[in-house]
Structure 1
C-alpha cells in the first residue's frame, strides 16, 4: 500500500512512521522541511509540502492510497492563528478527495473528552473536536485513534536532573508507548475497509501520573533523575502572561481530572494488545 504521512517527525509521528516502513508500506512523507526528516527515514520518499500551500498537498497525495495524520496545536499557538487540525484539515480533505485517498488515519486525543466537565472549556479542545467532525463529514473512510498518555511525554518533562510534574491526580492513566501504538496503526491500515473506525488507545498497565513518573525515574539508565512537582495553580497564574504556560496549565488540569477508564478491549481484539511497560520504555530510551 502507498501511504502518505503528514507529521512524520513529531514525537509520536516518528515511531508510527518507522512501524509503517518496517511493515512494508511504501511511505511518502509530506514535510515542510524535508531536510529534517531525510536522515530519520532514508528509505522513505520525501516531498516538500506545506498545509498553507494547497497545491503542494495536492501534489504530495498523488498516487497515494492512504494517509496518516499526526497533527497538533503548538504550545505557542493562539486562537486566531492558522491551525493544522482545522484550517489545514480542510486543505487535506480537499486534496485527499482529489487524489482518491481510500482511508485517512488520524491521531486524536482521549483527554479532549474532558471538555465540558467541571466547567472546563479550552479552545484547543474545540479544535480537536472540530477536526474529528471534519473528517467524519468528509465521505472518506477514517480511522480515528484516541490515545491515553504517551510514555514519550516523560522525555519532554526532563529538565536537567529533574523530571517535572504539574499538579497531582489520583486517577490512573493507561500509558502507551509510541512503538506499540505504531504497530496498532499498521494493523488498522492492513485491515481497512469502507467503514469509519474509532479506537481508544491504551497501554497494558495503569498508574497515576506520579506513580508512572516514579517507575520511569527508577528504571531510566541514562542519568539519575529527581521528581520536581509544581502546583497547577502556579502554571495557570503564569499562563496569564505566557502562552506556553497557559497551554501547560490547561492540559495538566485536563489530564489530572479526566476520569479515564479502560476502554481498549475492542482495540486490542482488532489491532493487538500493547506489551511495552513503563519500566521497559524507560530502559529502552
Structure 2
C-alpha cells in the first residue's frame, strides 16, 4: 500500500504540532508550509519536509504547494477585533485556495469549531471570529476542490494552557457537560480521511465519546498529567484583574462566556462510522501528552 501523503499549513501551533507529530507516527509522509523554517525544524520531527511559504503571499504558496494533492489547513484567529484588513483564516485561506487551484490540489481539509455546525449548542452565543473562519471555508467550498471540514468540540489538550504556579484556572459558572476531544483524535480522523473518497465534501463533528463537566475533565486530566496541579474555578470577572492586554483579556473572557453556555449533545456517530471511534480516555490522553513533553 502506498504511503499516505499530506501537506499541512499551520503545523507549528499549540494543537497542530501534536497533530503533525501524531500523523508522522501513523506513517504519513508530511510536508509543512511555514513562514519560519528554522522554528519548524526545532518543533517537528526530522522526517517532516519543510517548505517556506506565507499565507499573506499567494506567490509563495503557489511555489510551496507544487506537487501537493491533499492539504490540511490549521489556522486560528485570536482576537475580538472584527475590523482588521487581513485575517489568516479569511484572506489567508483565499490565497491558499488560489495556490491550490493553480497546483491541482485534489482535497482540502480544515479544522473548524463545533459552533459552525451546531450553533444550537451555544446558549451564550459563539465566538465572533467564527464569521472570519466561515468566510474562508466558503471560499474552499466555492473552489470546487473536494473538502472535508472537522468541527471540533473543546480540546482537552488546552487545559495545559490554563496552568499557573501548579493551579489550573477555569473561569465562570460551567454547569454543562462537554464531549472533550483531543489533538490525537483529530489526527486520527485526518489520517482516515486521506485518500478516502467517502470523506470528500463532508462535514464531520469531532467529539470524544464521554461527556463530563469542565471541572471534572480538568481534575481527571491533571491527576495523570501532573498530580501537583490543582483545579480552581474563579468568577468570570477575575479575568479583568489579571493584567492582560485589553484585547487579550476580552478574547479570553469571551471564550469562557461561550463555554459557560456550551450545552452539547453527542452528534458524531457518522464520524465514528466513517473515520474511526477514538479509544483513548481523557486519562490516556493526559498520559500520552505527558510522555510527549518528557521525550
Q: Same fold (TM over 0.5)?
A: yes
Unmatched tracts of structure 2, length 5 or more: 291-295
Bigger helix fraction:
2
For 2:49 and 2:270, locate their aligned partners in 1 and report how far apart those are by CA, in whole Å: 33
Structure 1 residues 44-123: aligned runs within 5 Å: 44-75=48-79, 79-112=83-116, 113-114=118-119, 120=125, 122-123=127-128
Is the partner of 1:12 in helix, strand or coil? Answer: helix
For 1:23 and 1:119, locate their aligned partners in 2 and report how far apart those are by CA, in whole Å: 38
Q: TM-score, normalised by structure 1?
A: 0.91
Moved more, 258-267 or 131-140: 131-140
Instruction: State whether structure 2 residue 218 is matched by structure 1 residue 216.
Output: no
Aligned residues between the structures: 284
Contact 2:67 2:103 in 1 (8 A): yes
Moved more, 112-121 or 91-100: 112-121
Q: 1:34 to 1:121 in 2, by over 3 A?
A: same
Q: What's the Cα RMSD here?
A: 2.5
Moved more, 138-147 or 228-237: 228-237
- Choose from 26, 30, 34 the match for 1:27: 30
For 1:130 and 1:249, locate their aligned partners in 2 and report how far apart those are by CA, in whole Å: 24
Unmatched tracts of structure 1, length 5 or more: none
For 2:247 and 2:201, locate their aligned partners in 1 and report how far apart those are by CA, in whole Å: 35
Contact 1:204 1:276 in 2 (8 A): no
- Choose from 226, 236, 239 the match for 1:235: 239
Who is 1:161 aligned against? 166
Moved more, 8-17 or 115-124: 115-124
Is the partner of 1:190 in helix, strand or coil? Answer: coil
For 1:267 and 1:117, locate their aligned partners in 2 and report how far apart those are by CA, in whole Å: 21
Contact 1:168 1:209 in 2 (8 A): no
Moved more, 186-195 or 165-174: 186-195
Is the partner of 1:262 in helix, strand or coil? Answer: coil
Q: TM-score, normalised by structure 2?
A: 0.88
Is the partner of 1:261 in helix, strand or coil? Answer: coil
